[in-house]
Chains A and B, each alone.
Chain A
């Protein structure tokens, strides 16, 4: 395998600056995006203007805003060059199949069909929006220092809550599949690219456009509904609601395409010899997530389209007096929403199980069981959505069924725990930073899972539904599960992705501070929920102030630990620049066998795979523990 570093096109540096800036890149995308917004806004104003005169001032014109957003997104994508290929083909001209591959830094600021560039783009882009979401969380915790509203007004408070939740859920949906699966799945399966490289780039830029649209909600009054966006509350909300609708619909499109791309790539592009039973477990988790995304996300897009029509042209999907139902939105939303939370959790399973064998120097214990667990979770996630509606009065006689189906999900989830525990047994564990994050994942997800049992039990859920207990529960599964796995993945794969090492002591400091402050923040919230504090309120009983202050101060420490990570990243990646070894973890997985930096087309010769990547450990001498028993 010969290393081919990214070739710099001749003359790229000698061209004048204006010549390098002109072309299809982020700059032209922003210009055309703004232009598209105003064109859409103008059209909307002419359509919606007159009929609104008798009812509201013209600046409450939802049609204009939604068309503006649509025009802006189209302009943005055209500016990035997404239209070039189809237009060239339609005109019968030869079209470039590859975009910006192997070029300089500029390839990170535009449409690039190199899956490794898209992976880095995702990591930075999503990180940026997670930072905004995190700042919102800090402001929420500042407000909750006092039992009555002091810091922000109730409207701003709800906008903060809504932006935090929506931003985090929307962005973290692609938090692992975006950066890590895009980067590593093709390498892990011995392919040179993703199945649809252009679509791959599209998912990223759609997500960025969506994130920006959600931020603009603050100019239009914010939205009062939280990330669930329930109707009929969303019907009466001001224009900021349109930002939410537009954001989530774009995230839905991005998710569908991302999942589809992953599924097709994994099914069709595996290297010779890479049979299903040799597939890395991370790739299995991406496949399970991709399937779930493709099946669940279109439901979200349809639901939000109905909400947008209700808001703009006065249809009545969710409006009671016009033949609609407020239950319909809840039903449709959670039919997407519950698979969605497993879309968030599944990649975490994959990362933890992928990393454990490397650091325990043992094969993955119970490979088939782990795969069964992931697909069991993925399948069952479509049968549980009404547990969000246990007290709503909808289908009350079906509650025992949804209680059963929800509790059944803990069986495949238990498989994952058994595989983690089996791999740890009699291991030779090295406590590197990624390994610490994996162990923390196990602890956090255990708490998240066990508190989920209280929520799945209808009588018990009657007290905890809609309270801080639920909030603590899903933060344990999403932050404690996914975000911890996400950071583990960053520390694990950064040497290959960026070719540089993180400072070990700062990384460990980040881990311990994050782990302790995370638990210290969210454990008290279980108690707060049990003591009767509802979600999404800025005022609470004065007797609950001590616990809230404890949680707030811990949350600030949690925020501070993120700053340590940022400092570590900037220091290691910009100033120190210590080069990483090609395979610092002595991993046997395929992605560590290619050189660093990874050549543009990954492999000079497509590898032939003859075993799974977990060929660690020494065979036992005495009988009874033969590998033949694998996967009961």
Chain B
């Protein structure tokens, strides 16, 4: 896909066929680089294999990197090749060929880039919807909902910490996040002051916490591990310190932990507001 096109007709005797040379270098480089990107770099792509959603995105990132590699190599090798091959001799004042375009090359370029872009968009859409939002915040009424039982967990963000409510366990509110492994979790992310963003790095989850919005994200942890929780949206001076550790534990360990919390937090539960999907920030003093 070089742009010499018709200029190839004007071959100066003794001058190498630049189009063929460049194409050869590019194809060889791509054949070397692609397997490296897919098989060596690919498995190390973030965010790792902490959940079904995270693993899916390791695949996505590998696919995107594999698609970007030939394009990257095309332009970079082209730049290097043309700076070496088409130099003005020192002190020279030679003029290049007066070629103003090439309809075939331009048409081919438009068709190929459009095809690449459309396939990327289709791929992204399929991956997004088939993976229940791929760990991202889906808003209050997600388009695709996983079938079967789900464990709802509410994430409440405020300046500057996250707290968690478990509505199916009496609506207790804890400062620790424990999730059972291999179960679909339905995260309800909301805020009671400014905009925050709940980012569980190893689980591949990121969902903005907006006041008065119930932002739902689905995730199915697959690995017993401790994961990092950080706020990913600037929320004031202690934004950089708004972080936490979450834990993925076995189903049995989770049951033990949650019952212990239920009994320990029972007195506090009495003064908590009832579980709701959103909580209005207090106090509001407006309009006068």
- B-contacting residues of A (Cβ < 8 Å)? 149, 154-155, 157-158, 224-226, 228, 230, 232-233, 236, 314-316, 319-322, 325-327, 330, 360-369, 389-397, 399-400, 403-404, 407-408, 410-411, 414-415, 417-418, 421-422, 424-431, 439, 442-443, 446-447, 450, 453-454, 456-463, 465-467, 530-532, 534-541, 586, 614, 616-625, 627, 629-632
Contacts and interface: CB of A to CB of B under 8 A. Distances in A.
15 contacts: A154-B239, A228-B234, A233-B234, A233-B236, A326-B212, A363-B100, A396-B133, A422-B3, A425-B4, A429-B83, A431-B83, A463-B204, A532-B46, A541-B228, A629-B101
A319 B236 CA distance: 16
B4 A619 contact: no
A385 to B, nearest CB: 15
B113 A410 contact: yes
Contacts of B133: 396
B86 A536 contact: no
A154 B234 contact: no
Contacts of A417: 75
Interface of B: 2-4, 6-7, 9-10, 18, 45-47, 56-57, 60-61, 64, 67-68, 71-72, 75-76, 78-79, 82-83, 86-88, 92-107, 109-110, 113-114, 117-118, 120-121, 124-125, 127-129, 131, 133-140, 142-143, 189, 193-195, 197, 199, 201, 204-208, 210-213, 215-216, 228, 230-241, 280-281, 284-288
Contacts, number: 359
A404 B118 CA distance: 7
A562 B287 CA distance: 50
B286 A321 contact: yes
Contact of A459 (B4, B56, B189, B285): B56
Contact of A427 (B82, B113, B128, B285): B82
A446 B72 CA distance: 7
Contacts of A631: 100-101, 106
B100 A400 contact: no
Contacts of A427: 82, 86, 96
A370 to B, nearest CB: 10
Contacts of A396: 133, 137-139, 142-143
Contacts of B64: 453-454, 457, 460
Contacts of A224: 234, 236-237
B137 A361 contact: no
A452 B70 CA distance: 16
A631 to B, nearest CB: 6
Contacts of B96: 360-362, 426-428, 616-618
B157 to A, nearest CB: 12
Nearest to B284: A321
List 9 tightest A-B contacts by C-beta distance, closest first. Answer: A321-B284, A537-B240, A617-B98, A393-B215, A459-B134, A624-B9, A362-B96, A632-B103, A396-B139
Given A365-B99, A460-B64, A430 B88 contact: yes
Given A393-B137, A462-B136, A466-B232, A620 B193 contact: no
A321 B237 contact: no
A457 B124 CA distance: 6
Given A443-B76, A537-B240, A621-B10, A365 B3 contact: yes
A424 B208 CA distance: 45
A8 B60 CA distance: 67
A458 B100 contact: no
Nearest to B228: A532
A396 B212 CA distance: 16
A158 B129 CA distance: 37
A25 B212 CA distance: 52
A366 B100 CA distance: 6
Contact of A462 (B107, B121, B135): B135
B113 A326 contact: no
A429 B82 contact: yes
Contact of A369 (B72, B83, B101, B104): B101
Contacts of B57: 459-460, 462-463
Given A411-B114, A426-B4, A466-B206, A393 B79 contact: no
Given A321-B286, A426-B97, A625-B6, 6 more contacts: A232-B211, A326-B211, A395-B139, A399-B128, A426-B99, A428-B87
A230 B98 contact: no
Given A233-B234, A430-B88, A314 B287 contact: yes
Contact of A632 (B101, B117, B143, B241): B101
A257 B222 CA distance: 56
A429 B95 CA distance: 9
A537 B139 CA distance: 26
B6 A624 contact: yes
Contacts of A369: 101, 106
A625 B10 contact: yes
Given A154-B237, A326-B210, A532-B201, A620 B97 contact: yes
A122 to B, nearest CB: 31
A365 B6 CA distance: 13
A387 to B, nearest CB: 11
A619 B68 CA distance: 36
A617 B97 contact: yes
A154 B241 CA distance: 9
A463 to B, nearest CB: 5
A224 to B, nearest CB: 5
Contact of B10 (A368, A400, A531, A622): A622
Nearest to B214: A393
A320 to B, nearest CB: 4
A357 to B, nearest CB: 9
Nearest to A230: B195
Contacts of A421: 3, 75, 78, 82
Contacts of B4: 425-426
Contact of B99 (A316, A395, A627): A627
A391 B137 contact: yes
Contacts of A393: 137-140, 189, 207-208, 210, 213, 215-216
Contacts of A400: 121, 124-125, 128-129
A629 B6 contact: yes
B58 to A, nearest CB: 10
A437 B82 CA distance: 16
Given A393-B140, A429-B88, A466-B199, A538 B240 contact: yes
A629 B9 CA distance: 15
Contacts of B195: 230, 232-233, 326, 330, 392
A327 B109 contact: no
B125 A442 contact: no
Contacts of A460: 57, 60-61, 64, 124
A360 B143 CA distance: 53
A361 B98 CA distance: 9
Contacts of A418: 3, 105-106, 109
B99 A535 contact: no
Nearest to B213: A393
